[in-house]
Amino acid sequence: MSETPLLAVHDLVKHFPLGGGVLSKARAWVRAVDGVSFNVKRGESFGLVGESGCGKTTLGRLILQLIDPTGGSLEFEGQDYTKLSRADMRFMRQRMQIIFQDPYSSLDPRMKVDSIITEPLRATRRVSRAKRREVAVELLERVGLQAVDLDKYPHEFSGGQRQRIGIARALCVRPELIVADEPVSALDVSIQAQIINMMEDLKEDFNLSYIFISHDLSVVEHICDRIAVMYLGAIFELAPTESFSVAPRHPYTRSLLMAVPQPDPHARAKPLSLEGDVPSPIDPPPGCTFHPRCQHTFERCRKERPALVEVTPNHYVACWLHQKGGGKGEPLCE
């Protein structure tokens, strides 16, 4: 890759302490994000999928520096922004914004829509009140609401409309990157489709890049150019969407795809082979963290953690089955 990526994540780690306090030491650590690296190109929609507790939301928050990483680095257009001062970071946040999952708890119920949408503007720049109002009207109309809605409170809107307000707020400072954390998960399917279509239009109109976090594979597959699958704080597979859907490589990715109930009664799937629950991130299994649930597990999986390596062009997998000298003869490709 010759051009500088918009966002580069290098070996990012976040461990949360468990127990402990001001004077006592932590009893244990939750390894929420445990060594994650990837790039996002300008104009790209990058999908992060995984089940609850896999660390995808923590990763999103780390990228916006809403929480500090334990280790690793984050670069925006080549500039490491993990060590910026608060004031500089505030400036940096004009270039990246976040949309949250729950349209009910992410809008302040005591603020009018006008103030909600322009809050990022007030926080980062000196803009006159009249100008802010002008920006708010323009954004509101862009997300399918009307100028009269400016003086309403969040409770007067439906879930879908609130999510539109959240999106308008994120667009307010004209960011280049938007982290969308489960933006449509709380919405009904007919409304979900409206929001997804709108997000795709906005991406073109505002030259946005998205990091789209979701547990819903069909939504991520629809909207994203590349997809990364996370499990217990690590990326297991990263591939362009086409190659991800046609030839998923990691056994976990395959189980995940197979587990999605297909809306086709003619294709009733046989029950899934994946047993058990996701292990605790406090005490993850040694070696490959997926080995207790994997049906291909062999000796090496229990001892060594496989790295994320490129198995075919642009398709990365962290699995011993797919690595030359992985221990099971030639790489398993089908």
Partner 1 sequence: MEKLLEIDNLSVQFHTPEGVARAVDGVGFDLHRGEILGLVGESGCGKTVTALSILRLISSPPGRIRADRILFEGRNLLDLDAEDLRQIRGQEISMIFQEPLTSLNPVLPIGRQVAEPLMVHRGVTKREAYEEAALWLDHVKIPAARERLNDYPHQLSGGMRQRVMIAMAVVCRPKLLIADEPTTALDVTIQSQILYLILKLKEELGMSVLLITHNLGVVAQMASRVAIMYAGEVVEEAGVMDIFDRPFHPYTQGLLKAMPRLGDRVGRRAGRLNGIAGTVPPLTKVMPGCKFADRCPHMFTLCKEKPPGLFALSDGQHARCWLKDYPERRKAHV
* Binding stretches for partner 1 (CB under 8 A): 51-52, 158-161, 188-197, 200, 215, 217-219, 221-223, 241-242, 245-246, 255-266, 268-269, 271-272, 274-275, 277-278
Alpha-carbon span 58 to 281, nearest angstrom? 13
Please state the closest distance from residue 305 (CB atom) to partner 1, in A.
21
Q: Nearest-5° angle of CA 297, CA 299, CA 300?
A: 95
Between 105 and 218, name the residue whose CB sits nearer to partner 1: 218
Between 258 and 332, name the residue whose CB sits nearer to partner 1: 258
Please state the closest distance from residue 293 (CB atom) to partner 1, in A.
9
For residue 270, is it left (φ>0), alpha (ψ between -120 and 50) or beta? beta
Please state the closest distance from residue 294 (CB atom) to partner 1, in A.
12
Alpha-carbon span 172 to 233, nearest angstrom? 32
Please state the closest distance from residue 160 (CB atom) to partner 1, in A.
7
Please state the closest distance from residue 323 (CB atom) to partner 1, in A.
24
Between 130 and 189, name the residue whose CB sits nearer to partner 1: 189
DSSP code at position 272: P
Helix locations, the chain, DSSP H? 56-63, 86-92, 113-124, 129-142, 159-171, 189-205, 217-223, 241-246, 251-259, 299-303
Please state the closest distance from residue 192 (CB atom) to partner 1, in A.
7
Between 279 and 327, name the residue whose CB sits nearer to partner 1: 279
Please check whether residue 281 is in contact with residue 232, taking contact to mean a CB–CB distance below 8 angstroms.
yes
Please state the closest distance from residue 116 (CB atom) to partner 1, in A.
20
Cβ neighbour number for residue 237 with a 10 Å cutoff: 27
DSSP code at position 125: S
Q: Nearest-5° angle of CA 162, CA 165, CA 170?
A: 130
Between 127 and 193, name the residue whose CB sits nearer to partner 1: 193
The enclosing H or E element of 97 equals strand 96-99
Between 52 and 85, name the residue whose CB sits nearer to partner 1: 52
Between 22 and 189, name the residue whose CB sits nearer to partner 1: 189
Cβ neighbour number for residue 82 with a 10 Å cutoff: 16
| Residue 14: strand pairing partners | 33
- Amino acid (one-letter) located at 127: V
Please state the closest distance from residue 186 (CB atom) to partner 1, in A.
9
Between 41 and 95, name the residue whose CB sits nearer to partner 1: 41
Q: Nearest-5° angle of CA 74, CA 75, CA 79?
A: 135
| Residue 36: strand pairing partners | 12
* CA proximity to 322, closest of 266, 257, 264, 247: 247
